[in-house]
Amino acid sequence: MKKTLILGASTNPARYSYLVANKLVRKGNTIINVGRKTGKVAGVEIEPAEHLYEDIDTITLYVGPKNQAPYYDYILNTKPKRLIFNPGAENPELAAKARENGIEVVEACTLVMLNTGQY
């Protein structure tokens, strides 16, 4: 199972980050919820982007490109193996920085990946 950090986690059941958090947990994955608001998603508290984790396989990104710059260092210093840009989160600048740091970059929908066994 892959330890996944959900950047842009939301308690809103209509948001894709919410659906993905629950799907990941149902499939036995460990998640870290990171976002601006407080609350719980899939039984896991949403925390601010402060604590750096060293064992993250994947960061799945649900923050639009205009709001990503404050998270660049957090993402790169977390050193995930993979960074998934979900639809609407695509950002060539961050993708280039990730690749320069040896992070695999994927532009895809995490929910679709989970539903089709590609995660």
CA distance 105 to 111: 16
pLDDT at res. 98: 98
Task: Name the phi and psi angles at 105, rounded to 5.
Answer: -110, 130
Contact 9, 41 (CB under 8 A): yes
pLDDT digits (tens, 9 = 90+) for 41-62: 999 999 999 999 989 999 999 9
The structural domain count of the chain equals 1
Contact 44, 100 (CB under 8 A): no
Residues in the chain, pLDDT under 50: none
Q: What is the CATH number of the domain that holds 87?
A: 3.40.50.720
Range of the domain at 13: 4-115
Task: Name the phi and psi angles at 18, rounded to 5.
Answer: -65, -50
pTM for this structure? 0.96
What is each CA distance from 79 to 18, 56, 86, in whole angstroms? 23, 7, 18
Long-range contacts of 91-94 (CB under 8 A, 24+ apart): 91/65, 94/65, 94/68
CA distance 111 to 48: 23
